[in-house]
Amino acid sequence: MKLIVKRIGFSSGIPQVIIDDSVAEALGVKPHDRLLVKYRGKEIVAEVNVAKEVPSSSILVNEEVWGGLELQEGAEVEVLACEPPLSLRYIRDRLKGIRLGYDEIKTIVKDIVAGRLTEIELTAFIVSYHNDKMSVDEAYYFSRAMVETGRVLGLDRKPILDKHSIGGIPGDKTTLLVVPIIAALGYTIPKTSSRAITSPAGTADRAEVLMPVDLSVEEMKEAVLKTNGCIVWGGALQLAPADDKIIKIEYPLSIDPFFIPSIMAKKKSVGATHVVVDMPIGMGAKIKNEEEAYYTAREFIEVGKRLGINVRCALTFGEQPLGYTAGPSLEAREALQALRSIGPKDLIDKATGIAGLLLEMVGLQGGKAIALEALKSGKAERKLREIIEAQGGDPNVSVEDIPIGSKKFILRADKEGNVIRVDNRIIAHLARLAGAPRDKGAGVVLYAKLGDKVNEGDPILEVRAEIGSKLRIVEKYLENVKPISIGRIHEQMLLKSISVSPVVGGEIYIIR
């Protein structure tokens, strides 16, 4: 059938067309089926959308079709129904509970990268792995296929060290210390990081306070060759790009069945040979207990082995934020202070602990002491300033140069006692309500952490915002939640009673 194209003027990630329902019937296609669209020797496969108001001689095309076929307004294209891609067959197999082999997975990953799967198909595929966990084989196949369908850094060095935190606790600025410690000791650590999705700051957001992080692969490579390290945003590098499309589906559903291949593919694509995976454990963290941590660690290690990456998992305390701050600028300040050994003990302990593990993996003994010495001697701070300069930032930046939100609200203890609980989720939400990560100066400063003794009226937490109206939303939110609980353990047993379905944004408490 021949149809006249009309440009819609927006892109949706995959090629899509809109046709009238009478045209769809004549072509024998339904919504979400596929059409082959041909124009001057070029062809493209597009997802079908059906509408009622489209002239029956027309086909509306999005930017992917428009650009892919190099169309002009009013061009006549040939369209015909076409078979779904082979990967849909494999996705249907997966929905039947069948395990996939490397060839099937490679085919699917290729089609994900090329945008040949519809949102429905990709969602079904991802959810199927949420409900029926990926095998180690599959996790390895996905990691490999994701690397093979993207760019690689291609550093001609060995060993290449790397670290990754599976996240979940606010204020975790460990990477800002680990990268310069490792690089200062002469080892290569080409770190890519993500921006915050649901947290107040991702490592890329924190680092961006100090230096540009939107580097190209070439710029990243140059920085690493010069300084041994970098901290760049991984989102635009096209390293394992399938991952980015998968995350877009996982995010609104709050699930992450692909997290092991996602992480391992990114590590492989920078050529990592030794990786420490930081796994914070706690009620308010992603991993709830040690047993779960061991299970996940085994998978990381196993997948790493097959990819030729030596992996160690570090189980870390995740019951409260790391250090005393959450929010990009507050955290960048705290990291700079820690590099001068005046930062919080838990942050320094964790950063040197993880750096130490990496050093021991490449053959050194007493890794943590070596890492601590690199910090105390000022070598790590000097290295961070080198990296800042290599990435295009100001190497002389000081804590005072980093502005933080001028509006503040202080929360005070409503009674005397000890801090018995710090709620990661509420703290993260507070910082986001205050404007983080978009408002870099917004965030939360803690005055009291687990076990600390407080008197009634003592400040226990401060929220910083750049915009006054956001601070008022914070104050309103604080009327109903307790980010920091004070009391004596085993005295207050009934936390809350549940009578109806919890509403969105509400917290579920446990009666124990």
Q: What residues line the site for a second copy (CB under 8 A)?
A: 8-12, 18, 25-26, 28, 30-33, 49, 51-54, 60, 63, 83-86, 88-92, 95, 97, 101, 103-104, 118-121, 123-124, 127-128, 130-132, 197, 248-249, 251-255, 438, 501-505
Q: How far is the CB of 148 from a second copy (least distance, A)?
A: 18
Q: Confirm if 227 and 187 have CB atoms less than 8 A apart.
A: no
Q: CA 218, CA 390: separation in Å to the nearest integer? A: 13
Q: How far is the CB of 476 from a second copy (least distance, A)?
A: 15
Of residues 11 and 310, the one with the C-beta less far from a second copy: 11
One-letter amino acid identity for 412?
R
Q: How far is the CB of 499 from a second copy (least distance, A)?
A: 12
Of residues 124 and 397, the one with the C-beta less far from a second copy: 124
One-letter amino acid identity for 298?
R
Q: How far is the CB of 71 from a second copy (least distance, A)?
A: 15
One-letter amino acid identity for 357?
L
Of residues 93 and 462, the one with the C-beta less far from a second copy: 93
Neighbours of 128 (CB within 10 A): 18
Q: CA 214, CA 336: separation in Å to the nearest integer? A: 21
Q: How far is the CB of 138 from a second copy (least distance, A)?
A: 15
Q: Exactly one of 205, 243, 256, 423 is catalytic; which is it?
A: 256
Both structure tokens of 243: 């991952």
Q: CA 164, CA 278: separation in Å to the nearest integer? A: 6
Name the β-bridge partners of 310: 274
Q: How far is the CB of 11 from a second copy (least distance, A)?
A: 6
Q: Confirm if 102 and 141 have CB atoms less than 8 A apart.
A: yes
Neighbours of 426 (CB within 10 A): 20
Element (H, E) at 259: helix 259-269
The answer to whether residue 346 is catalytic is no
Q: How far is the CB of 120 from a second copy (least distance, A)?
A: 5
Of residues 9 and 366, the one with the C-beta less far from a second copy: 9
Q: CA 198, CA 163: separation in Å to the nearest integer? A: 21
Q: Which of 200, 173, 167, 204 is nearest to 426 (CA)?
A: 200
Q: CA 349, CA 347: separation in Å to the nearest integer? A: 5
One-letter amino acid identity for 23?
V
Q: CA 238, CA 235: separation in Å to the nearest integer? A: 7
Q: CA 274, CA 80: separation in Å to the nearest integer? A: 51
Both structure tokens of 147: 């690397």
Of residues 122 and 161, the one with the C-beta less far from a second copy: 122
Of residues 468 and 502, the one with the C-beta less far from a second copy: 502
CA 252 to chain centre: 13
Strands 274-281 vs 407-412: parallel, antiparallel or unpaired: unpaired
Of residues 9 and 457, the one with the C-beta less far from a second copy: 9
In 3-state terms, what secondary structure has residue 374?
A: helix
Q: So which residues are the catalytic ones?
A: 256
